[in-house]
Amino acid sequence: MERITPLLWLLFSAGGTVAALLFPVHFFLTALAFPLGWLEAPSYEFLHRLLTHPLTRLYLFILISLPLFHWAHRFRYTLYDGLQLKHLTVLIAVLCYGAALAGTAMAAYLLWDIS
Amino acid sequence: MSAEPHYTLYHPRWYRRRVSVWWWLQKRSYTGFVLRELTSIFVAFFAVVYLWQLRALTQGPEAYEQFLARLTTPLFLALDTVAFLFVLFHAITWFNLTPKAMVVRWRGKRVPDWLILGLNYAAWLVLSGAVAFVLLRE
């Protein structure tokens, strides 16, 4: 664990930056502006066409994966310190990073699978 | 001297005040800290929403319509409003921390905090505009 801590910290900070720069606009459009009808949601055909471009796929992979690792790292410490669960260190770390890995794998699979 | 010395990792006999799980409600700066830490949950939430959308897009037009319809339900609108505010809080606190976490030097002088902050917010503006431009281009 100690040896990969720098890597985990790097993922945490890269993910935090991606989430800070790009999540507000994506979130605002997808979860608020489109559902509330302020702006028209892009059509299936349009998004599907966007997804056929490799750069879009790379972008989405980074957009989904890095913030998940950001979450894993930060939430781990939230659980330790906030809920005083220091004795469950290993279990919490496995669950958090495991979930981030699972999300990353799913993103990779879906992005690979698109025809 | 036959008995082995007995070490314990913790010292149960030391006096330790029990700290309540709600310690962070006693002071504003503590509350801010904990709220900032909690933003990660909403960051993950949105990553999952985007995964969900991606899956719908791989499944076809009906799945995508269903995804769009699900997001208009009151439950999701309420959840998304709260989550959006937390994501925004994450962005702002993250940008404001960068000059403290990253000391940049240029020609031997430290780049002032306001410049790093300004560049962060400028990048935020430009990228948000670019994303909106692409998604609304249709």
How many angstroms from the chain centroid is the CA of residue B18?
29
For residue A12, the domain's CATH number is: 1.20.1300.10
A38: left (phi over 0), alpha (psi -120 to 50) or beta: alpha
Query: What ipTM does this complex have?
Result: 0.92
Distance CA A70, CA A15 (A): 5
pLDDT at B16 over 80: no
Between the alpha carbon of residue B9 and those of residues A33, A93, B18, B129, B136, the distances in Å are 54, 21, 18, 54, 59
What was the pLDDT predicted at B63?
A: 96
For chain A, the domain total comes to 1
Q: At B28, which helix (H) or strand (E)?
A: helix B28-59
Interface of B with A in 113-132 (CB under 8 A): 123-124, 127-128, 131-132
Interface of A with B in 4-43 (CB under 8 A): 13, 15-17, 19-32, 34-36, 39, 41-43
Give phi and psi for B105, each to the nearest 5. -115, 140
Distance CA B47, CA B87 (A): 11
> pTM for this one?
0.87
pLDDT tens, residue by residue, B24-77: 888 888 888 889 999 999 999 999 999 999 999 999 999 999 999 999 999 999
Out of B37, B88, B123, name the one closest to residue A21 (CB).
B123
Please indicate if any CB of chain B lies within 8 Å of the CB of A67: yes
Higher pLDDT, A3 or A48: A48
What was the pLDDT predicted at B26?
A: 85
User: Which domains are present in chain B?
Assistant: 23-101 (1.20.1300.10)
Residue numbers of the domain that contains A43: 5-113
